[in-house]
Amino acid sequence: MNEQRKALLTPAIIKNAAIDSFKKLNPMSMIKNPVMFVVEAGTFVVLMMTIFPDYFEARGQFGFNLTVFLILLFTLLFANFAEALAEGRGKAQADTLKKSKGEMMANKIVGSGIKVVPSTELRKGDVVVVASGEWIPGDGEIVEGLASVDESAITGESAPVIKEAGGDFSSVTGGTRVVSDRIVVRITSDPGESFIDRMISLVEGAKRQKTPNELALNTLLTSLTLIFFIVIVTLPPIASYAGVDLEVPVLIALLVCLIPTTIGGLLSAIGIAGMDRVTQFNVIATSGKAVEAAGDINTMILDKTGTITYGNRMASAFIPVGDATESELAGWAAISSLLDETPEGRSVLEYMRNTGGQYSAELGEDAVFIPFQAETRMSGMDLVDGRKVRKGAVDSVKKWVTASGGTIPKDLEEKGNAIASKGGTPLAVAVDGRVYGLIYLKDTVKPGMRERFEQLRQMGIKTIMCTGDNPLTAATIALEAGVDDFIAESTPEDKIAVIRREQEQGKLVAMTGDGTNDAPALAQADVGLAMNSGTAAAKEAANMVDLDSDPSKLIEVVTIGKGLLMTRGALTTFSIANDIAKYFAIIPAMFMLAIPEMGVLNVMNLGSPASAILSALLFNAIIIPLLIPLAMRGVRYQPMSASKLLGRNMFLYGLGGVIVPFIGIKAIDMIVQLWV
C-alpha cells in the first residue's frame, strides 16, 4: 500500500476541510445533525442580540454576548471540521482513482475482425483483446489467455499479478494495465457501473448510509437534546420565582454545554473514518453497516484453500491402486487434465513434464471436456471412441464408477486415507468402470494461522473451516490450523446452510470467498469479503472487496469493526461524563449571586459567574478538535472479556470524562478571569 494512503493528514486535506467547515454552516446541511443544529440556532440568536442590543435590551452585555457568539461559532466550525476532515481523506483517494479512469481505447472483437472504439462505448457482453502495455478498458472476465497485470492504480501494490482464463482468478478490473502477454476479456459491466466507479462513490462518502447503531445513537442524542431544551425553557420561570433573572445568552450557553455536543459533533466523523480505516487495509466496504457488523461478528466461515492454506494444491505423486501401474495412472491423469484450466489440472501436466511422464495427447483431440462442478466434484473428458475419463474427489468417483457397473479396488480407501492423513488431497482417476489410482495434491497451512485463530477465540469468535476435501484431510488441516470446527466435502449449499444455522441462533456471520460458487453464501452472510482476484459474481454478492485478495484479512476487518464500535462508545461515554463538570461550573454561576447558598456547589472555586460560564463554554468547544485524532484513528481494540473491556473503558473514558473537564475548565477560568 502506498504511503499516501497511510498518511492520516496532509496540508491539502486540512486546507480543504477548513473551507468545507464554513460551507457546512448551511442550515440545510446542519439540520441532518439535530444536536449541532440546535447549537447553530442558539448561535444565530446570540448573534442577533449582539448586532441589535437595543432591540433585545442587551446593550450592557455586548462584550459577553460577542464572546459567547464567537465560542459557539467555533464549536460549530470544529464539529464541521471533524466531518470534513474524514470526508477529505475519502475524496483524496477518489481523486487518485479518477486518474486511472481516463478515456481509453479498446480493441473490440466485431465478427471476425477487431474495431478500435472508446471504452465508454463498451457494453456488458462485449469481447475485447488486450495486449502487453495496453490498459484494460473495463471490468471483465478473461475468456482466453494468461497475462501479468499491473493493479497498482487500485491496490497501491507495485508487484503485478497473474490473471488467467478459467478458475477463480480470471476477473480483471478496468483501469489496470497488462504488463506481459495477451488476453481476451469479456466485459461484465456497463459504463458508470464498473468497480472503479463504485469505489469512487464509496470512498467519497456519497452513498454512505448511517449504520443501525449510529441511527440508534443519533436518536438517543436527539432525545437528550430535547429533554435538556425543555429543562432550559422551564428554568427562567423557576429562577424568576427565586428572584434570579437569567439572560438568554446564559441559557443558551447552559443548553449547549449540557446537550451532548462533543459526540454530536464527532459522530459523523467516526462513521466515515471507520470506513476509511478499512480502506487503509485495501478493503472497500460497500456500506458502513458492513464495517459495523464486522465488530459484532460471532462466527467466521473460512475456505481452506487460499485462506488457511496457500491454496496452491499441486500434483506431487501418482499412486496406483489395484493392478494398475503408475505409468497407466499418469497417462489417464494427463488425458483428464488436457483441457482443465484449474490450478490442480495444470499442475498434473506440469508434474508430467517435470518427471518425464508419457501420455497420448492425440486421445484428447475432438474430445468433449467435462468441467469441474461443485455438485459433481469431478471433471474429465468424453473421448471420441466412447470412453469416459474422470478425476475428482474419491467418494464422487466411487459413486460414478459404481453407477457405471465397475468395481472399487480394495486399497483405494486405504491409500486415500494415507494421503489425507498427511494433510494432502487425493484425487481419484477412473476410466469407465475402472479406478486407476490417486493423484496426491499437496497443500500447506500458512504460518501463524494457529495464533490468529487463538486471537479470534479471545474475541469470542468461532471459526469454521469449509473445504471440499474428505473428512480425514479436513480434520488434519483443521487440527494443524487450530480452527474450532470444520465442514468436509462442503458444497455451496452446505456453506449457506451453516450460515443460516448460525444466524437462526442470533449470531452474526462473516465469510470470505472468491469463486462464483461462493456468491450465494457471501450474499447470505452478514459480512461477505470477496477477493478482488475472484469472479465478478463473488464481488457483486459481497459487501466488502479485498483489493489485495488476502482471505485472512477478514481478521483485520473484524478488529477494525470492533474498534469502530469501541470508538463510538468511548466518545459517547466521555461526552456524557463531561456534563457533570459543566453542571458544577454553570449552575452555581447562574444562581450564587442571588442565592449565596448555591456557592457550595462551586467545587472548582471558579472566579465569577461570567468567567465560569465562558470557561465551560470554551472547554466545550476546544474538546472537539482535541478529540478529532482519536475519532479518526479509532480506539485500539485489545482481545479481552466483555466485562474487563467495559471496566477498562468506563475507567478511561467515563472517569476520565469527569476529571478532564474539571481540570480543563479550572485552567481556562484562571486565564479568562484576567480578561473578564
Length of the chain equals 676
- 3-state secondary structure (DSSP) of residue 388: strand
344 is in an annotated binding site: yes
Distances (CA, A) of 350 to 124, 347, 425: 35, 5, 17
379 is in an annotated binding site: yes
375 is in an annotated binding site: yes
378 is in an annotated binding site: yes
Instruction: List the Cα angle 593/599/603 in 5-degree steps.
Output: 140
Helices 642-649 and 554-591, packing angle to 10 deg: 40
**Helix segments in 296-360, DSSP class H:** 326-336, 343-355
372 is in an annotated binding site: yes
SS3 content of the chain, % helix, strand, coil (to 5): 55, 15, 30
The Cα–Cα gap between 196 and 176 comes to 10
669 is in an annotated binding site: no
- Centroid of chain to Cα 332: 45
Is residue 246 within 8 A of residue 255, CB to CB? The reply is no
Question: Which one is catalytic: 303, 443, 546, 550?
Answer: 303
276 catalytically annotated: no
608 is in an annotated binding site: no
518 is in an annotated binding site: yes
The region that residue 166 occupies, defined by phi over 0 for left and psi between -120 and 50 for alpha, beta otherwise, is: left
318 is in an annotated binding site: no
340 is in an annotated binding site: yes
Distances (CA, A) of 637 to 368, 405, 563, 665: 55, 60, 5, 30
The region that residue 546 occupies, defined by phi over 0 for left and psi between -120 and 50 for alpha, beta otherwise, is: beta
Count how many Cα atoms sit within 13 Å of the Cα of residue 429 in the half-sphere of its side chain: 29
458 is in an annotated binding site: no
Beta strands of 434-543 (E only): which ranges? 434-442, 462-466, 485-487, 509-513, 527-531
347 is in an annotated binding site: no
Q: Any idea which residues carry the catalytic annotation? A: 303
Specify binding-site residues.
340, 344, 372-379, 391, 514, 518
Specify binding-site residues for ATP.
340, 344, 372-379, 391
Specify binding-site residues for Mg(2+).
514, 518
